[in-house]
Structure 1
Amino acid sequence: MARSALALLVVGAVASPGSAAAAAKPLPQQWWFTSWGVEDRLWTSSRGQGVTVAVIDTGVQASLPDLNGAVLPGMDAESGSGDGRTDVDRTESNGHGTAMASLIAAQGRGTGLLGVAPNAKILPVVAQSKPAYAKGIRFAADRGAKVISLSQALPGACPADLQEAVTYALGKDAVVVAGAGNDGNGSNSSMSPANCAGVVAVGAVDAQFRPWVKSQRQSYVTVAAPGVQTSAILRDGKVSFGSGTSDATALTSAAVALIRAKFPNMSNREVVQQVIGSAMDVGPSGRDPQTGFGFIRPYRVFNGTVPKNGANPVFEAYDRQAKNAQKTEEPSGGGGPKGGADMASVIVLVAWVVVGAVIALVMLFVLMRRRKKGRPAPLGPVPGATPSFGAPYPQQGQMPPGPGPQGQGPGPQGYPPQGYPQQPPQQGPPQGPPQGGYAPQTHMDIPQQPRTQQDIPQQPRTQQDIPQQPPPRQ
């Protein structure tokens, strides 16, 4: 009842999306606003203005009051038609892409729910398969998206075309974020696109910064973000409560949008390093496979307390992948296996030319001597007889004796597929909650600052503000 009154008050007070976002307050159950200090630590200098966030998902219901004016024309990477501004999700999720977009840029004009980056623009892309993910990532990069958010994925290694699309987006200065996965307490599969090199993989934690039980346990997990008992808007305009790394991914993407708006000259590589360096260790000591380097704290990036020379395992892994891919594509030089074989062939050919010339000279000498004696010159060896000189003639179709061409050695080895041993990829759209995740192979423990009251993210105002048993978001 109070929430409806708040929504009516907001709608009556403001008319434009920008002013609505500025006047509205987050709903009480949006506990991450308190934990991150969004209103007093982030919004004082950035609301995501000038930044486009691509949401590669099921499309976004752009006609909703809460998203009015925030959604740009996008694309449907599955059908090739449409602009992505209609959510095609007809599953139990009832609008997964819309929910993710609302966590990022909701205006608070219908339900009262606000996104973390309400002044950012959403670029919607419909994609439910790995080939479509690749198309969507390239499309988003070409449209200037500085953040590409993928709150879904499929089991299996990162395929070549998807890795190439991520590489393309990184070359366009985008930050690519994907969910770690939602079956950590089950099959715990490796997920792509989050296991592609260069992707920030996100796990989920609750309001007490405890890892979500279903969050993937994989070495590719980079950081963790709010993803338990979260509220979002579905395609029918209603607020839904749920949990998942999908939500954690969208909220991380929104935080990155705030950083990119605040620091427009900071490269994607620097942004990722700062996000990792801001993390608070919330799991086992040091980096762990469920929360990575820990719970991200974007306000530490804003206040300049994150070292600028910290480790960046996401881009270190990407650099290794790119280097190996380049080696695979380089042609063999003249001194390599192919060049050695060609040289051997030339030497053999020259040798046989010399031998043939010697034989011709000898035969000419014999012919001239026999002419002097009045006998006919031989036309060749007599069948079955041993030639008068040299080695036996080669038979028809045989190679001459002597050293043959050198065999060609194996070429440069291809770069192994990203990810870890897993089950074969499923066909068709993903079943169950969309999910995803990537694996930097280095280890780094972020030195922690003293846990002062000011530095530790705050918990929600009251326990009653959080739904106790929300239905899972599918």
Structure 2
Amino acid sequence: MPFQKYGARRRSLSALATVGAGLMAVGGIAPAAAAQDISSQQWYLQDMQADDMWKVSKGKGVTVAVIDTGVKASLPELRGQVLPGTDASKSPTDVHNDEDGHGTNMAALIAGTGSGGGIQGLAPESKILPIKAIVDGKTDAADPLLARAIKYAVDHGARVLNISLGTGGTSSMYFTKAKAAVKYAINKGALIFAATGNSGDKDNFPEYPSSLSGVVGVGAITRDGKTAKFSTSGDQVGLVAIGDEIPTHCGNKVCSSRGTSQATAITSASAALIWSKHPKWTNNQVLRVMMQTAAKPKTGDVPSSYLGYGSVRPRKVLLDGEGDPGPANTNPLLAREGATKPKPSESASKAAGNASQPPASDEQAAKKPVAEAKAKDDGGNTTLWVALGAGVVVVAGAAVAFTVVRRRGGTMARP
């Protein structure tokens, strides 16, 4: 079973390469931008009010495992941000050697410092635990490799697991070891965010591990707040985040990328910000306030097939003091919580009180183009974007052809 990376650059199908059985990622990248200063192009940070959130939390004390293609720790914005990590395969290579670049970009979106004109991460004081998980088709299959990666992550201090990888055209019956590893991680107090995939406008078939019970599947919305047409929909969608027009490294250039990979990284970083501010909260409590404070679909049922419980808004917790952490040992995702508007909790209200500036009112916040809060479900699905080797390609379809499933959804309410 090959993995798919959900982040890529726009190339022709003829550029497709294969890594053994194939490890693909979720996302896409457009032509190179003129400016090389990536951080200056990260428009979504302003929309998410990152500068104000960073006065409250920058993710310090939280380790985020990036289970991906490796992480290039020597990148200027990642120097000092990356822990030793490991290659979870049976034929390991240097985890800090990322020939593909996908894992490096995901790590930078989470914890990059912006140094050297590089990527500014949303949680710049969090640490990255890199775990390489490339399926070679000979010594490793997706299920045991993923299981080893997940167990390594939690056993080495990761509280948040970012998996911008997945595989489609298969069944959960092939992921028995991964299921056990997910349960192990959750019981150890970790949160797992996994990209739902980019095959929404093609086969739109469930992806794994995002479809595994307990994993928070993350879909993507566009800059104008609409459900990204490439974002795979279905029951696996727990939350969504901006996943379009995200500047990333593209070799020696800067590219505009898209994908549920990027949306997952932003969601993982959001969790790190909240957890850093509330270190005594359990994984269930952090997830609960994320679900509660997410911008809800305006129409249709919640959770929505396209938007899940809504678009992540960590500022609502950190700046506005919203969200009730609730019971420590009840998993809100499995209990299908988060569909109602939260009431300010005493602990969350203290977070707002500690901010150097007063929290913005809903009326004030609505005046800003908050991308993560205005998503609209336009009935889009997902194209599978694949990043392999030095280049990245767009792939029409997954490992197996399936009938396209399209569902109607709703629009996201503004804050």
Q: Deviations over 1:252-308 (max 9, x none)?
A: 011111111111101001001011011112463442111111111101122321234
**Alignment correspondent of 1:39:** 51
CA distance in 2, matches of 1:214, 1:457: 26
Pick aligned residue for 1:266 from 261, 281, 286: 281
1:65 equivalent to 2:76? Answer: yes
**Alignment correspondent of 2:392:** none
CA distance in 2, matches of 1:266, 1:443: 17
Q: Deviations over 1:446-474 (max 9, x none)?
A: 338996342576258xxxxxxxxxxx673
The alignment partner of 1:190 has SS state of coil
* CA RMSD in angstroms, aligned pairs only: 2.8
Q: Call closer, same or farther: CA 1:247–1:201 in 2, change over 3 Å.
A: same
Q: How many residues were matched structurally?
A: 314
Preserved CA contact (<8 Å) 1:54 1:140: yes
**Alignment correspondent of 2:401:** none
Q: Which has the higher contact order (CA 8 A, sep 6+)?
A: 2
- Greater C-alpha Rg: 1
**Alignment correspondent of 1:122:** 128
The alignment partner of 1:256 has SS state of helix
**Alignment correspondent of 2:192:** 176
1:50 equivalent to 2:61? Answer: yes
**Alignment correspondent of 1:359:** none
CA distance in 2, matches of 1:32, 1:62: 24
Alignment of 1:284-299 (within 5 A): 284-287=299-302, 288-299=304-315
CA distance in 1, matches of 2:178, 2:337: 25
Preserved CA contact (<8 Å) 2:39 2:114: no
Alignment of 1:299-448 (within 5 A): 299-302=315-318, 303-309=320-326, 315=332, 317=334, 442=336, 445-447=339-341
Give 5+ residue unaligned stretches, structure 2.
1-32, 135-141, 344-360, 372-384, 388-415
1:193 equivalent to 2:209? Answer: yes
Preserved CA contact (<8 Å) 1:199 1:314: no
Give 5+ residue unaligned stretches, structure 1.
8-25, 90-94, 318-439, 461-471
Letter in 2 for 1:109: S
Preserved CA contact (<8 Å) 2:332 2:338: no
Q: Call closer, same or farther: CA 1:311–1:147 in 2, change over 3 Å.
A: closer
The alignment partner of 2:67 has SS state of strand
Letter in 2 for 1:226: I
CA distance in 2, matches of 1:456, 1:276: 23
Alignment of 1:34-113 (within 5 A): 34-40=46-52, 42-89=53-100, 95-113=101-119
Preserved CA contact (<8 Å) 1:286 1:293: no
**What is the CA-CA distance between 1:208 and the residue it aligns to?**
2.1
1:139 equivalent to 2:152? Answer: yes
Q: Call closer, same or farther: CA 1:151–1:43 in 2, change over 3 Å.
A: same
CA distance in 1, matches of 2:247, 2:222: 13
Letter in 2 for 1:289: S
Preserved CA contact (<8 Å) 1:58 1:127: yes
**Alignment correspondent of 2:28:** none
1:239 equivalent to 2:133? Answer: no
Pick aligned residue for 1:151 from 145, 149, 164: 164
1:204 equivalent to 2:220? Answer: yes
Q: Call closer, same or farther: CA 1:285–1:84 in 2, change over 3 Å.
A: same
**What is the CA-CA distance between 1:112 and the residue it aligns to?**
3.5
Q: Call closer, same or farther: CA 1:102–1:2 in 2, change over 3 Å.
A: same
Preserved CA contact (<8 Å) 2:292 2:339: no
**Alignment correspondent of 2:11:** none
The alignment partner of 1:191 has SS state of coil
Q: Call closer, same or farther: CA 1:215–1:190 in 2, change over 3 Å.
A: same
**Alignment correspondent of 1:384:** none
Q: Call closer, same or farther: CA 1:35–1:448 in 2, change over 3 Å.
A: farther
Q: Deviations over 1:23-75 (max 9, x none)?
A: xxx734312212211111x1002111111110001001111112111111111
Preserved CA contact (<8 Å) 2:288 2:324: no
Letter in 2 for 1:277: Q
Preserved CA contact (<8 Å) 2:291 2:337: no
Q: Call closer, same or farther: CA 1:163–1:242 in 2, change over 3 Å.
A: same
Q: Call closer, same or farther: CA 1:52–1:106 in 2, change over 3 Å.
A: same
Preserved CA contact (<8 Å) 1:283 1:291: no
Given the two structures, how large is their TM-score scaled by the length of structure 1? 0.61
CA distance in 1, matches of 2:325, 2:130: 33
Task: Give the stretch that moved more between structures: 80-89 or 306-315.
Answer: 306-315
Q: Call closer, same or farther: CA 1:266–1:311 in 2, change over 3 Å.
A: closer
Q: Call closer, same or farther: CA 1:456–1:278 in 2, change over 3 Å.
A: farther
Q: Deviations over 1:297-326 (max 9, x none)?
A: 101122321234499996453xxxxxxxxx
CA distance in 2, matches of 1:50, 1:237: 32
**What is the CA-CA distance between 1:233 and the residue it aligns to?**
2.5
